Amino acid sequence: DPGQDNALRRQRARAAARQPFVHAHMADAPFLSPHPRALAPSDIVLGAIWIAPGGGEQGDGARGDPGQDNATATVSAAIAHGVREFDTAPWYGAGASEERLGGAIAALSEEQRQPLQVGTKAGRLYTEADGREATGPFGGDLHALRTRVCTNDYSAAGARRSLAASLARLGVPRVHTLRIHDPNDNSNNRRGDPHFADEVAEALGEGGMADSPRGGPRVLTAEEWRPGEGGMVDGLRAMRDEGAISQVGLGMNCNRMPHQGVPEEIERLVKGAPQGTFDSALLAGGWNLLSQDGLATLQLCARCGVAVHVAGVFASGLLLGGDMRHRVCGMAQVTALLETPQACSSAETPSRTKPRVRRLSIVRGGGAS
């Protein structure tokens, strides 16, 4: 009976959907739990990429402008529901994301601002068309915003310049975390181009990996680290030592899409920097129900004591029933997701042993870094 066959198939599908998600390669990864766990709002980092317009060809695409009022309401709703961490970057909207997040924070009371932690990224510097540092408000002028010029810079000096510009756009005296952002991700620096530069090598300076007695690379100890000629890794470590930032991190795509970086670039940085360099790694796109390309990277982070923030858990909205062309972040979505416990629970989430997954992006676009 075809009707009975269809009913049986539906019954089996429902039963399968209730089973814990287990990837074929997880058997050898004891730190990964195949069981769901509830995440509190304080475990979530709000990715602020979608509260701003896109930066055009010299940035992250040509999204429309949802406005400052939307950004302020979104951040306020997130805080009201217990979110305390926010992530942004110069690359997001050619600096507009930092500006919009800063405007939203400025609208908060001192009591609301006190527990917040803001992280941003370094690696892309923006100037206005006339060469001035792009730190002033864009004033909603999308044409002016999209004439900003992006220059990739993974040097120590570039990290300091980037942080100074980010603080000006955010309007805050300090950020908690500064992350190396997507070196070699094929945005403005494509492999195969005649002027391609290995930005991971630039970030590492002349230090790098040592040979293991068993063969292959191993992570350098801090004592073995030979500072290079001012790579970003050196710069961020120095800034943390000075107290300019609290944590050093990575913010990188962890999938294998043709237009983005690959997990191996993340592993080069983790292995090439001295132990203790990275407090955390924000990894986008490589750990969700559609892609587990980042599994080896998660295992490496576990061995090296690097906490992991997983971004893109909804696969750019595909797992929420949307598509990659409709990325919207607004107060209504933040409120709805935070008030729905199952939205903050995932069978794909590693357990709370280090590195624990601390970042679930709650915006429709998945908050890819």
Residue 187 pLDDT: 79
Contacts of 252 (CB under 8 A, 6+ apart): 180, 181, 182, 183, 185, 261, 265, 266, 281, 282, 283, 284, 369
The rounded mean pLDDT for the chain is 78
SS3 245: coil
Distances (CA, A) of 123 to 10, 145, 157, 247: 49, 19, 11, 16
Q: Please compute the mean of the pLDDT values over residues 315-335 and round it to a whole number.
A: 60
Greater model confidence, 228 or 45? 45
Residue 313 pLDDT: 86
DSSP 53-93: ---BTTTTB------HHHHHHHHHHHHHTT--EEE--TTGG
Give the tens place of pLDDT for each residue, 210-259.
Answer: 333 434 444 445 555 455 558 999 999 999 999 999 999 999 998 877 66
Q: What's the N-to-C CA distance of the chain in angstroms?
A: 50
Identify the residue whose tokens are 């132990």.
Answer: 275
Give the tens place of pLDDT for each residue, 290-313.
Answer: 888 899 999 999 999 999 999 988
Residue 123 pLDDT: 96
The mean-pLDDT minimum among 131-140, 217-226, 260-269, 297-306 falls in: 217-226
Instruction: Place 33 in a pLDDT band, splitting at 50, 70 and 90.
Output: low
Q: Please compute the mean of the pLDDT values over residues 86-98 and round it to a whole number.
A: 97
pLDDT above 90: percentage of residues in the chain:
52
CB 52, CB 89: distance < 8 Å: no
Instruction: Place 32 in a pLDDT band, splitting at 50, 70 and 90.
Output: low
Give the tens place of pLDDT for each residue, 159-211.
Answer: 999 999 999 999 999 999 999 999 988 778 877 788 888 999 999 985 444 33
d(CA 50, CA 92): 8
The mean-pLDDT minimum among 127-136, 225-234, 349-358 falls in: 349-358
Q: Please compute the mean of the pLDDT values over residues 72-93 and round it to a whole number.
A: 96
Structure tokens at 44: 């979530």
What's the DSSP call for residue 186? S
Residue 227 pLDDT: 53
Q: Please compute the mean of the pLDDT values over residues 345-366 and round it to a whole number.
A: 36
Q: Do you find a cis peptide bond into 227, omega within 30 degrees of 0?
A: no
Instruction: Place 142 in a pLDDT band, splitting at 50, 70 and 90.
Output: very high
Residue 11 pLDDT: 55
Structure tokens at 336: 């709805």
Residue 347 pLDDT: 30
Residue 18 pLDDT: 43
Residue 222 pLDDT: 53
| Residue 156 in this model has a pLDDT that exceeds 50 | yes
DSSP 256-322: --TTS--HHHHHHHHHHSPTT--SEEEEESSSSSS--TTHHHHHHHHHHT-EEEEE-TTTTTGGGT-
